[in-house]
Structure 1
Amino acid sequence: MASLGTGVIILIVIWVITLASLTLFTFAQSSVKYIGLLSLVIAVIITLVLTLLPRGEINRAAESIQAPSSTAGLARILILTFLCVTFLVGLLLVFCHEVLPPVYALPVRKRFVR
């Protein structure tokens, strides 16, 4: 069984704290509700940095011996794609619910009814 690295543990802790802050501060009535959005942006930035930075020295001789098609980074790419898509959907929902004013229906005039 593979052990978890330091970066994965950091990502788990950051995303647990982010989800907790989003849950706590989303329905606040003051400007405190933007702390959750700020923590989400910070978590996405940290996730991008930790997933896109190289993990260490790459041995070029070992790469030439291996098969030309390697799926080692596929899981990281899928996780990063999922996080980016959910982040964009979350931003769209925040924009729809917080920024756009609600438009309420008006009653129909009953002009021809006797």
Structure 2
Amino acid sequence: MEYCRQVQVLGRVLFGLLSEALGLNPAHLQRMDCAKGHSILFHYYPTCPEPELTMGTTRHSDPDFLTILLQDHIGGLQVLSHNGWVDVPPVPRALVVNIGDLLQVV
């Protein structure tokens, strides 16, 4: 429960920073209810001796405003670039923040 609460605090801080970066009032995105509600998903993939046989999560975009991701040492995150899908190497104790589809529309 404490982790959930801290992620909510982080989300509000990020929306404030994003608002300012866009030249808006720091509370702009929060006033639009961008920070309202959240869901927590966990994907755990233990190391597989035959990784070519694993399925993982399918290619997708993040449909929400923000995704805050804590990667493990195994990795697996990829981003789509003009060169196709590129691996994102995990950084110990770092959070990855993805801008979701809804925030891109806003």
With structure 1 as the length reference, what TM-score do the two structures score? 0.26
Bigger-Rg structure (1/2)? 1
Q: Larger % of strand: which? A: 2
Structure holding more helix per residue: 1
